[in-house]
Structure formats: C-alpha cells, structure tokens
Structure 1
C-alpha cells in the first residue's frame, strides 16, 4: 500500500482504503473475541453494561485520535456505535452461556 500523500489516482486511493478496511475488520474480529471472553468471565448479567468503562473507552479513543491528528468527534461517534454494538453482542453471548 502506498502512502495517501503519494496517491495520484482514485484507483490508488480506493485500493488503500480497501486494504485498510480489511485490516480494520481483522482487528474488530479480535476485539469481538475479547467480548466473548468478557461474557465468559463476568459472573452477573448486570456487569455487562459498565457505563464508566464505556466512557473511558470512548475518551481513550478520542485522545488517540487527537494524537494522530484526526478529529476526535469522528472517532467518538464511531466508538459510541462500536461500544454499544459490543455491549449488545456481549449481552447475547452472556445470555447464551446462561441458557446453554
């Protein structure tokens, strides 16, 4: 993959974005496995939603975005969605464990 600053065509831009998207999905798959682990480790369903932890995760992501020169608002929105989806996934995995 070439650096974005070296792109001269939209074909190059799109190829770079597509490659990054593959890497992002691979990282999200690993993150999801951590949600599986959390659902396995937590003793009670009410431990799945942890608002202070959610706030910390989003704040950490926004701080990382700022360090990278990216607008933290964008990362905040993405991580709000990611964390809520992760909570829902973990909740379903916890429930499956309890029923299963």
Structure 2
C-alpha cells in the first residue's frame, strides 16, 4: 500500500469556487431587466407624483408645482425638474448646451 500518495492530499482544503460564477454577467450577454413596479397603475402613479411634489417643495424647488402639473408635464416643467434634481447630485454643474443636447451625456455619466 502506498501511503505517501494518500498523505499528500490529506489536510488540504478543496476549493469549490473554481467553477462557480458569482460576478455580474459578461457585457456581451443581453439580459432583460424587468421593472417590477406597477407603473401603469393609476394609484401607483398618484403616489409617486405626490411623493415627487412633496420632495420638490421640501427641497426648495423655486417654481410652483402641483400634482396636476405632473400628470402631463410640459417640456419646460420637465426640464426645470430635471435640472433641479441634477443639481442636487452635482451642485457645481452649469448647464451650457441646449437641454436636448446635454442631457443624454449627463445620463450616460450617471
């Protein structure tokens, strides 16, 4: 009986992590992420709009905003809210380009 071969592996920890992938999927894999929120539900929409109006008011939004404004916001209202929220994230940012030209690059770097 050859005990030296058996003893050479005795006491070694075996690793099981070699074949287990615990990280994010590779970028080449197309993964569809489904939003679990009921965004088409009118009650859910009312709640979110109410929360947004309260946040804007409490945070010092300088324009008059109501829940009615947010059900079908104008481009100006949307732009004012977006700029206000973005400045909360990047207080020193100065909007210099046309809104439609600048926003895609801002969203990309977020």
- On whether the aligned pair clears a TM of 0.5, the verdict is no
TM-score, with structure 1 as normaliser: 0.29
Structure exhibiting the larger radius of gyration computed from Cα positions: 2
User: Higher relative CO (CA 8 A, sep ≥ 6), structure 1 or 2?
Assistant: 1
